[in-house]
């Protein structure tokens, strides 16, 4: 039985469009994080640092996954 192989060799693509999309999504995540923490009255330095970490991870995932 023949194995299926991707046309691009199976490598993860890192295009400029996904980089820009990752940055935009990361900014959007941080804006929403800030709005939610202020609405719930839990906005502090710790929560903002956690929001920065989450938005950076989401942005990196969007960029690496080429979504």
Is the pLDDT assigned to residue 12 strictly greater than 60?
no
Per-residue pLDDT at 9 exceeds 70: no
Residues 24-35: what's their mean pLDDT? 95
Provide the pLDDT for residue 25: 93
Predicted local distance difference test score (pLDDT) of residue 43 = 83
- Ramachandran angles phi, psi of 60, nearest 5°: -65, -40
Q: Which residues, 6+ apart, have CB-to-CB distance to 48 below 8 Å?
A: 34, 37
**By the 8 A CB rule, do 19 and 63 touch?**
yes
Looking at the predicted structure, is the pLDDT value of residue 48 above 80? yes
Beta strand ranges found along 1-67 (DSSP E) = none
Cα within 13 Å of Cα(43), Cβ side: 12
Question: Which pTM does this prediction carry?
Answer: 0.72
């Amino acid at each position: 039985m023949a194995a299926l192989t991707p046309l691009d060799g199976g490598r993860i693509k890192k295009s400029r469009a996904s980089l820009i999309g990752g940055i935009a999504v990361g900014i959007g995540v941080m804006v929403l994080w800030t709005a939610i923490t202020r609405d719930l009255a839990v906005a502090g330095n710790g929560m903002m640092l956690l929001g920065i970490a989450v938005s950076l991870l989401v942005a990196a995932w969007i960029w690496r996954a080429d979504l």
